Structure 1
Amino acid sequence: MTSSPDYPEKDRPVEAWCDLHELHVRLSDGRHVSTPLWWYPRLLNATPAQRNNVRLMLNGVHWPDVDEDLSVDGMLNGRKARGAVAPSVAAE
């Protein structure tokens, strides 16, 4: 696999998983990126089985059961999904 100017090889995901509160992605250069699940309402509302059905892509991660695609670039740059509401705001 070769990298391109638009997508550096070092940012390729090699593993992805969710726990109860965060999405975790390990990159090919060894970095581990974690973002809050509330950033991605589809994943937050998914069942554990749906979250565990994950497919790695060249530049991101795909969850076929909930039709969610997230880019590594978006995670690294703190981009949340539209409609994402922080838990403290949602509780008010």
Structure 2
Amino acid sequence: MSSSPDYPEKDRPIEAWCDLHDLHVKLKDGRQVSTPLWWYPRLLSATPAQRNNVELMLDGIHWPDVDEDLSVDGMLQGRRAPGAVPPSVAAE
């Protein structure tokens, strides 16, 4: 696979997984990015099996079971899904 001229090869995801609270992505250059699951309501409401069925793309991650796509760039810039609410606010 060749790298896109618009996307740095160092930012390519090589592994992705979720625990109960966070999404973790390991990048080709060794960095690991973690973001809270509540940033992505589709992933938050998915089952653990659905969350762990991931497809790595050149510039992001795809979850076919929940039709969710996230870019590494979005994670690095701290972008969350529109309407995502912190659990403490959602409980009010």
Fold shared by both chains (TM-score > 0.5) = yes
Q: Could you tell me how far apart the structure 2 residues matched to 1:3 and 1:80 are?
A: 26
Q: Gapped runs of 5+ residues in structure 2?
A: none
Q: TM-score, normalised by structure 1?
A: 0.96
Q: Which residue of 1 aligns with 2:6?
A: 6
Instruction: Give the letter for the 2:38 counterpart.
Output: W
Q: Could you tell me how far apart the structure 2 residues matched to 1:54 and 1:36 are?
A: 17
Q: Which residue of 2 aligns with 1:70?
A: 70
Instruction: Give the letter for the 1:42 counterpart.
Output: R
Instruction: Give the letter for the 2:34 counterpart.
Output: S
Q: 1:1-92 to 2 correspondence within 5 Å?
A: 1-92=1-92
- The answer to whether the 8 A contact 2:3-2:58 is kept is no
How big is the shift at 1:88? 0.8
Q: TM-score, normalised by structure 2?
A: 0.96
Instruction: Give the letter for the 2:63 counterpart.
Output: W
Q: Could you tell me how far apart the structure 2 residues matched to 1:3 and 1:50 are?
A: 28
Q: Could you tell me how far apart the structure 1 residues matched to 2:58 and 2:4 are?
A: 11
Superposition RMSD in Å: 0.8
Instruction: Give the letter for the 1:60 counterpart.
Output: G
Instruction: Give the letter for the 1:14 counterpart.
Output: I
How big is the shift at 1:4? 3.6
How big is the shift at 1:83? 1.2
- The structure 1 segments of at least 4 consecutive aligned residues displaced by more than 4 Å after TM superposition are none
